[in-house]
Amino acid sequence: MEQQALVLIKPDGLKKSLTGNILTRLSETKLEIVASKIVRVSRELAMEHYCHMKDMPFFEDLIKYIMGEYHKKKVMALVYWGEEAIEKIRALCGKTNPEEADSVSIRGSYGRITTKGVYENVIHASSNPSEAEREIKLWFSPDEIIMDLYPKKEIEEMRKVRVWA
């Protein structure tokens, strides 16, 4: 089944200069990148992305982590598309806990657990199709993706936008 998945190279991945390495590993899947950008993550976006973790004791640290408070204030966001995209990407990532992740997986190779107990595991990947839909719609607007992944509509909008001076 063809699927799409959101991938985030988290701030620790960027700080550790792992972008090229991670993209190379993901390219072995032969999946296609259909969107990508560098994002400065707002608190609002962080809290929405991790809304399912809000009752965890480490939630505040997780929010600070994805906002880049501990590393670099940026995240690389990508959408991958292709046959069994979710399973293929999650397999390369390895388990959530970097100490339990296969040692050759991305998380097993480069992740760590902080003294506060947060898994700094360098990469996020959607874990099922409905999560992928929620996450892709949260991180990207339709025009930022080169494929028609989900239904979209046109609306009239009057707002100030920034253009090159």
Contacts with ligand UDP by CB under 6 A lie at 53, 58, 62, 96, 118-119, 121, 124, 127
Q: Which of 49, 52, 71, 124 is catalytic?
A: 124
> Whole-angstrom Cα distance, residue 50 to residue 32?
25
Q: From the CB of 53, what's the least distance to ligand UDP, in Å?
A: 6
> Whole-angstrom Cα distance, residue 159 to residue 145?
22
145 binds, among ligand UDP, Mg ion, none (CB under 5 to 8 A by kind): none
29 binds, among ligand UDP, Mg ion, none (CB under 5 to 8 A by kind): none
Interface residues for Mg ion in 124-153 (CB under 5 A)?
127
> Whole-angstrom Cα distance, residue 67 to residue 59?
12
Q: Which helix (H) or strand (E) holds 15?
A: helix 11-15
Interface residues for Mg ion in 98-127 (CB under 5 A)?
127
- Catalytic residue check, 49: no
> Whole-angstrom Cα distance, residue 137 to residue 131?
10
Q: From the CB of 93, what's the least distance to Mg ion, in Å?
A: 10
- Kindly state the tokens that stand for 89: 């990407």
What residue ranges bind Mg ion (CB under 5 A)?
127
By annotation, the residues acting in catalysis are 124
